Structure 1
Amino acid sequence: MKRYTLGIDVGTASVKVAAVDESGILLALRSESYRVVTGEGGKAEIDGRDLRRAMMNCFSALFLADGIPAAEAAGIGISCLCPGLCAFDSQGSLLVDPIIYSDCRSAGEAEWIRENVGEERLFALTANTVMAGAISGTSMLWIKRNLPEVYEKTRWFGHVNTMVAAWLTGQFAMDHSNASYTALFETAGEKKWSRELCEAVGIDMEKLPPLLASHQIVGELIEKELIGMGIPAGTPVVIGGGDTACASLAAGVTGNGDVCESVGSTDVLTVCVDQPRFSRSFINRCHVVEGTWIWQGALSHTGSSLRWFRDQFCPDYKETERDGGEKAFAAMDRAAERSVPGAGGVVFLPYMMGERSPVWDSRARGVFFGMSLSTTRDDMIRAVLEACGYGLRQLSEIAEKVAGRRTEEFISLGGGAKSLIWAQLKADILGADIHILERGDMAPVGAALLAGVGAGLFSDPVSASERVERKTYRTVRAGVENRGVYDQRYRIYTELYPRLKELF
């Protein structure tokens, strides 16, 4: 057997563990869900203990059920949703479970940072603005103000890959792609923690972990349960990166102008650039490929809006749900096909728990606009799908203004990418061809590739990416027959938020 590495990917609601050999071939993949805790004030946290249980179950299934030889693992890499802010004491114990991007409790802290640091200075240093939860510096400040005893006990703040690395190695670190989402890191400059911003925000810089490139080794494996499964003690663990950045690496988005879309609970348009030129409308971060950055237009609640609609209004579809909901979502696809382009006049705004790019407003909420007595459930399902297309078009047009070139085609990956009606209406709305990859689970593959670099199997992330065979499941060509109705609905979509902002 060829040498292989392991990639861990912590997503919005599940964790995946993949084994990838040195030829870039996915040998096996296991996934298991974990608990996300929501509550008063907009709380949204991962249950850290349940995440650890799910991750260990994935490893066990990979070795016992899939027959992957644990003793042959050459390295382990980590991919994670971003941000997911954690706090640890001096013994490495978890004080605060990961606070994820949809957490709204730090809205006041975000506003305070904007006013007291200044948006211009903040953007000049970090290439980002701030929003509750979506930029973890707001959650650090919220902990300091609301949980002062926890703040005093905190030795390290970190993101989810910091937490997983600490479990595996006892060492703490953060990579540049995750640090870009803290509002305390010089994304466009020297790629270091900013003492100026830490002092302005009021976060002790000494509580921020060491910084590493995504392919660098954070430590050696000491976790007893994994060693008991057969992974050799001392196996190198690399810090990895944000899930979309890792998925982009595996998808081949490594050079200037490369574009991909990842379709899941969120829908993210990712553009790779080799110069630090940024737009405020995007989340801007360092890529896991050194010397490049990625613009990310993150539509936070597209897939999750579809799941919400299924659970609340489609009990007949929910009853058919199996295999992670595939049959239920296929039924929703057929329902959308029974509607018409433009969804019978209905336009959906998918800001169900606030939105990041391009509006950066944690108070924004979802809207169905244009309903009448003739509106059907099928129309509403199609409107949810079309909203993703309108959001992608809005982000694509912003990217075009910054880069000076139009996106005429892009790669699509992720759990929802193979919905052909969804892909077709997005292609029609954007006027761009979409190449759907056969394999959607690219983030754990990217994490495994980074582990391969750290373990010496590959010379660098780009050469690792080039090993991956990327089969195209389907190419969806943009049509022109519905352009008029989509253009009209798109104008409504882009005007809805500005008109409703004060009401939110």
Structure 2
Amino acid sequence: MGTEHTSTAGLWAGVDVGTQSLRVLLVDDHGTVVGHGAGRLDSHRSGPVHEQEPEQWWQVLGRASREALAAAERIRPRAAELVRGLAICGTSGTFLLAEDSTGPAKALTPALMYDDGRAADGWTGLGQPSWPLAKLAWLAEHGSAPVRAGLAAGRVRLEHCPDHLASRLVGHPVAADWSHALKTGYDPAAQAWPEGPEVPSGVLPEVVRPGTLLGRVGAAGAEHTGFAAGTPVRAGMTDGCAAQIAAGALVPGSWNAVLGTTLVLKGVTEDRLDDPAGAVYSHRHPDHGWLPGGASSVGAGLLDLRFPAADRDRRDAAAARFEPAGGIVYPLTGRGERFPFVRPDAEAFETGVFTDDDDRYAAVLQAVGYVEKLAYAHMRRLGARADGPYYITGGGTRSRYWCQLRADILGHELVLPASAEPAFGMAVLAAAGDGPLVTAAGRMVRPRTVVTPRSDATARFTDAYAKFLDALVERDWIDAALADYAKDVPLVGASGGAA
């Protein structure tokens, strides 16, 4: 049974719903993690389709929450009563359709994942093809009969992953935060949804600032998770923004790169960046200013596909013999690229001659670093400051060699935060609530390690990076002007402006 909530100060809960797992952290006011729980999530891929089951999110949330609370109990007795708020993040662009009712959400569709490509052909003018509006239009034409009828009659509701879980926790529909709503077409500057015949009436939710109180854990939510009934549930942000909060990259010039299955880059600017190519999108900062960024489709996911069950430590040691690698790869896990350029038809490629699989493994690690470096150049070309500090988070940081390699390629110090998980960022956001996020982060976020580029290592990769850029130009994925700018631009100093 869930317990009744008391006003005693103490803990903050953060929930992160990822591609492969769901995690719950309990954190105190000084940023110390006192409890954690996790569970595996499955997803289904079939051609361009990539889906998860919302019911699995809910079941894993219940188990992971109770695991985190049990761990915290060993340090803080009656931990559930000390949780003063929670917030949830999810993968940006993941959504489902649910019945539009006054009670807890009932999913009508599986969750369409952030990289689901079913709307890649023919759905233009609705953002990138993997973004929700394009897939919403696809569902209106190709979805099941109940879904099509519900959309036509305005009886269904679009819910992002955190919206769905928050609804089930509090027992009624909740507003979306402006972070998760961004890729669904919400204009954070005008603070309004788009209008037009391609958007079914009534399907889009109300939108609020991250940190806004959405409701309080109800009896059913308490029974399922162990959190106290009455615990505040606050609007979250996307996983990329959550990791950015966890890193502490919340002032202009600072950036956070999340390397997991894919690579996500997030920074801070005073003014909103304008990217005509559409590769960069800007979340609104909960305090002030903007959080520009982009989500690439490259990352550690290709290592799992190309080198399953590999001994990563041995591979890393072997990769150090190939600096640079014998060839160039573009390490996509599927079809299409979203950032630092938009090419729905892009597919993984390799050129050159590789000595063996260790050489090819090294090429994948280096290619992610090259994409990261190109991403920073693209941001600077749009007018952003990129002088740092640079924070790095995500599962890819478990490889010490990969962290060093990325610092070498970038020619810039990289800071690993003490608690780098998106769930930690959501605990910080829950602690901030309606107040300044920077203040809560200043109290709770701490650095752990600084990785410094090795002497002369950056120059070692200069020619290979140039060849990488040239390979993108040859495929017409980027233009020659961006490639030339990326070859020449330093990453420190004031913004470079357009080339």
Name the TM-score class by shorter chain: 0.7 to 0.9
CA contact (8 A) 1:263 1:303 kept: yes
CA contact (8 A) 2:36 2:71 kept: no
Tell me the SS of whatever aligns to 1:44: strand
How far apart are residue 298 of structure 1 and its match? 2.1
1:367-402 Cα offsets, whole Å, 9 max, x none, are 121125xx2111011001001111011111111222
- Seen in structure 2, the aligned counterparts of structure 1 residues 450 and 227 have a Cα distance that, compared at 3 Å, is farther
Structure 1 runs (4+) greater than 6 angstroms displaced:
none
* Distance of 1:472 and 1:223 partners within structure 2: 39
Say if 2:314 is the partner of 1:331.
yes
User: Residue type matched to 2:338 in 1?
Assistant: R
Say if 2:28 is the partner of 1:52.
no
User: Residue type matched to 1:221 in 2?
Assistant: V
Say if 2:432 is the partner of 1:453.
yes
* More displaced stretch, 262-271 vs 466-475: 466-475
Q: Larger % of helix: which?
A: 1
- Seen in structure 2, the aligned counterparts of structure 1 residues 71 and 228 have a Cα distance that, compared at 3 Å, is farther
Say if 2:194 is the partner of 1:194.
yes
* Distance of 2:258 and 2:313 partners within structure 1: 19
- Seen in structure 2, the aligned counterparts of structure 1 residues 474 and 277 have a Cα distance that, compared at 3 Å, is closer
2:487 aligned residue: none
How far apart are residue 336 of structure 1 and its match? 1.2
CA contact (8 A) 1:281 1:398 kept: no
Structural RMSD (CA):
2.2
Task: Give the alignment partner of residue 171 of structure 1, picking from 170, 173, 193.
Answer: 173
* More displaced stretch, 28-37 vs 287-296: 287-296
Task: Give the alignment partner of residue 218 of structure 1, picking from 171, 196, 214.
Answer: 214
Say if 2:330 is the partner of 1:349.
yes
* More displaced stretch, 386-395 vs 155-164: 155-164
Task: Give the alignment partner of residue 409 of structure 2, picking from 429, 439, 450.
Answer: 429
* Distance of 1:432 and 1:471 partners within structure 2: 16
Tell me the SS of whatever aligns to 2:396: coil
5+ residue gaps, structure 2, are 1-7, 478-499
Tell me the SS of whatever aligns to 1:467: helix
CA contact (8 A) 1:18 1:29 kept: yes
Tell me the SS of whatever aligns to 2:180: helix
How far apart are residue 284 of structure 1 and its match? 1.2
CA contact (8 A) 2:272 2:292 kept: no
* More displaced stretch, 346-355 vs 380-389: 346-355
How far apart are residue 334 of structure 1 and its match? 1.7
CA contact (8 A) 2:247 2:445 kept: no
Say if 2:268 is the partner of 1:268.
no
How far apart are residue 407 of structure 1 and its match? 3.5
1:474 aligned residue: 450
TM-score, length basis structure 2: 0.86
* Distance of 1:393 and 1:81 partners within structure 2: 23
5+ residue gaps, structure 1, are 115-129, 318-327
- Seen in structure 2, the aligned counterparts of structure 1 residues 266 and 228 have a Cα distance that, compared at 3 Å, is closer
2:281 aligned residue: 284
How far apart are residue 478 of structure 1 and its match? 5.0
1:117 aligned residue: none
How far apart are residue 226 of structure 1 and its match? 2.8
How far apart are residue 282 of structure 1 and its match? 3.4
Aligned residue-pair number:
455
Say if 2:100 is the partner of 1:90.
yes
Tell me the SS of whatever aligns to 1:19: strand
2:157 aligned residue: 156
* Percent identity for Structure 1 against Structure 2: 22
- Seen in structure 2, the aligned counterparts of structure 1 residues 474 and 462 have a Cα distance that, compared at 3 Å, is closer
- Seen in structure 2, the aligned counterparts of structure 1 residues 53 and 162 have a Cα distance that, compared at 3 Å, is same
Say if 2:300 is the partner of 1:303.
yes
The 5-angstrom pairing of residues 475-494 of structure 1 reads 475-477=451-453, 479-481=455-457, 483=459, 485-494=460-469
